[in-house]
A and B are shown apart, each in its own frame.
Chain A
Amino acid sequence: MAIHRHDNHKSANAFMQWVDDRFPATKVWNEHLAEYWAAKNFNFWYYFGSLAILVLVIQLLTGIFLTMHYKPDAQLAFASVEYIMRDVPYGWLVRYLHSTGASMFFVVVYLHMFRGVIYGSHREPRELVWLIGCVIFVALMAEAFMGYLLPWGNMSYWGAQVIISLFDVIPYFGPILTEWIRGDFVISDATLNRFFAFHVILLPLILVALVFLHLVALHHVGSNNPDGIDIFENLDENGKPVDGVPFFPHIVIKDLIGVCGFFIVYLGIVFFWPDLGGIFLEKDNFAPANPLQTPPDIVPLWYFTPFYSILRASTETLLMFFAWSSVAIAVLAALFTKVDLKYKIGFIIVGAIAWFVFMNSSGKAWGVILMGSAIVCFFLLPWLDRSPVKSIRYRSWPFKVALALFLVAFFILGYLGMNAPTPVKTVMAQVCTCIYFAFFILMPWFTSIGQTKPEPERVTYDAH
């Protein structure tokens, strides 16, 4: 028996040798799993990276199976979704997995991004990991937006109508561009068909490619950890980080716990509350697209609402506030900074130009600019953050306060975006919009003040 087993082992080795001579299987396995060292103190927040890949796979799989039954045709699309929900065996399950999966994708990605912010994963040397991640976020938004048109419900239709019309504000080219995107003068069969092509082929390919790049970049620089310190500064006699554990099996098995927890939440929603009271599946989208009737409360799905709120918050009042704020900041800068007179004059001139621009442009255009900027801000984070430490555990109090304010503003914006605007809510959205942008604009300042705590030599880890 023992000899037999030994032979098997030998032939398996010979086979792997044969493969390795032609394809770097063992090399890849070791570099990215068995000998990829991750800090042993990964906590709850570190589940969301692997979970994001899991949701991507779920979306790809369920998407393929939906494509087998869905018809990308304005006459047939709505009925084909109901066909999936009723006539296709377990079609309802595949569809709910996909629709709930879309929302869960954003839940996971938002939490994953938040992890990056609190532990400084966007900081040197991981700037490109962060940037690629931001591009993934934008691609995911495009993917979700186009996917949302496909059921051809009334909210699908009008949501697409509103968002595509945003491009109208682009001077001169706007109307031509929106027509080109729609392929028609209104949202129509042509729009549906091309959105289908983008949703099922183009963007999934882009997403998978970007995720691959995200991982390549990450594995080149190594994973961050909740202490934000470099585990490769403490190596043992074999050259392995003493605070590191191999990704396989240790992190993989740990992630399995996250996977189970995720599935409990995800499938709990799928089986018991698939529309989540209208948050994951909006009630107006159970009526077929009707170009003659806008739904009474036209709102995007929850994951877009913070940005949608910023779009709606842009009114003349907000611009006037921006105009006078620019003047105030310019005057304060001229008075209280210790620079040459010519720079001080420069501040005043820039402030005056800003005042003029804000006072003489339309709220609609600025809404689009602000919404776009709200996303662009995330790209700039690695260079706005000047703190000497990475992790929130050792940061100074101004950062913690600012982050808390930002979170509250982000949630309020998200909530306001789910509801029809009222004068009071618009003011709230404007205040939160200001906090949102102040967080990024003032970041170089508040990350460089206050007393940071000293970073430890070794990661904080308690085995029990």
Chain B
Amino acid sequence: MADNQVSSVNADGMSVEDKKRRRFLTGITAGFGAVGGAFAVTPFVLSMTPSERAKNAGAPVQYDLSKIQAGQMVKVEWRGKPVVLLKRSDEMMAGLDKITDKLADPDSLSSNQPAYAQNNSRSDQSSPALLVMEAVCTHLGCSPVEKLAIGPDPQMGPDSQGGFFCPCHGSKFDLAGRVYKNVPATTNMPVPPFAIAGDMITIGEDGGRNA
């Protein structure tokens, strides 16, 4: 109580040692607090990732390929996205090679597909005619419409070999989902992982053969 008459706070009278110790303690406590803060944020961030319900809705889907004739296309839904199943005819397959010079990424080098579909027809070589593709335009996510007919088309051009046309901003793709040059989209439409067993195709699950 003797020094009750001086001000309570006398921070200026600190020695160098005092300052060092104080800085060290402040630093370690702040560091520790920051680590705690990071851990505290984690559950909140993770709570915004897909829930079990969303994951279940996004589970692999199956389709019976025997229901599709050559030259025909169906769309199935996987993870809320339209997935195209197209059994290309011989004529369609032949058309793929005729337009290579008009494409932006003909060898799918900068596009998104499993290794087993990174080829000219962007298909699994066990059934090369089958195109499995997310029909989602790589520009801004619209779903392109199919233009399966070979021949002149108002959108696809006078010598179209068939393909997909995006109604939103006019991007054009061939029947392997490869993007043309000079359109807003710059990469080919993605191919999801898939596996074929007999007539059944599983989309979204390839048994790890892409690994």
Contacts and interface: CB of A to CB of B under 8 A. Distances in A.
Contact of A89 (B5, B7, B9, B46): B46
B51 A87 contact: yes
Contacts of B42: 90
Nearest to A236: B7
Interface stretch (A242-250, A350-358, A379-387, A441-449): A242-250
Interface in A77-108: 83, 86-91, 93-94
A242 B47 contact: no
A3 interface: no
A248 to B, nearest CB: 12
A214 interface: no
Q: Report the contact-size class of chain B (Cβ under 8 Å from the partner).
A: 10 to 19
A240 interface: yes
Contact of A240 (B7, B47, B51): B7
B8 A243 contact: yes
Contact of A65 (B7, B9, B47, B49): B47
A238 interface: yes
A40 to B, nearest CB: 6
B180 to A, nearest CB: 40
B7 to A, nearest CB: 5
A438 interface: no
B43 interface: yes
B26 to A, nearest CB: 9
B51 A89 contact: yes
A94 B44 contact: yes
Contacts, number: 51
Contacts of B4: 242, 458
A61 B52 contact: no
B51 A68 contact: no
Interface string B24-48: 0000010000000000001110111
Given A87-B53, A88-B51, A89-B51, A244 B8 contact: yes
A250 B9 contact: yes
A65 B45 CA distance: 9
B33 to A, nearest CB: 8
Nearest to A93: B43
Contacts of A83: 51, 53
Nearest to A244: B8
A61 B52 CA distance: 23
Nearest to A88: B51
Interface string A234-272: 001010101111100010000010000000000000000
A65 B4 CA distance: 51
A243 B3 CA distance: 12
Contact of B47 (A68, A243, A245): A68
A334 to B, nearest CB: 54
Interface in B40-93: 42-44, 46-49, 51-53
A410 B4 CA distance: 41
A232 to B, nearest CB: 14
A94 B44 CA distance: 7
A91 B8 contact: no
Contacts of B44: 61, 65, 90, 94
A246 B52 contact: no
Interface centre among A89, A91, A244, A256, by most chain B C-beta atoms within 10 angstroms, is: A89
Contacts of B7: 236, 238, 240, 242
Contacts of B5: 242
B57 to A, nearest CB: 11
Nearest to B42: A90
Nearest to A95: B47
B53 A91 contact: no
Contacts of B6: 236, 242
A128 B7 CA distance: 31
A61 B45 CA distance: 12
A256 B26 CA distance: 12
B49 A89 contact: yes
A68 to B, nearest CB: 7
Contacts of B43: 89-90, 93-94
Nearest to A62: B44
Contacts of A94: 43-44, 47
Given A90-B43, A94-B43, A245 B51 contact: no
Nearest first, the 5 A-B pairs at minimum CB distance are: A90-B43, A87-B52, A87-B51, A89-B46, A236-B7
Given A87-B52, A93-B43, 8 more contacts: A68-B47, A68-B48, A87-B53, A88-B51, A89-B46, A94-B44, A242-B7, A242-B8
18 contacts: A61-B44, A65-B47, A65-B48, A83-B51, A83-B53, A87-B51, A88-B47, A88-B52, A89-B51, A90-B44, A90-B47, A91-B47, A94-B44, A238-B7, A240-B7, A242-B5, A245-B8, A245-B9
Interface of A: 40, 61, 65, 68-69, 83, 86-91, 93-94, 236, 238, 240, 242-246, 250, 256, 458
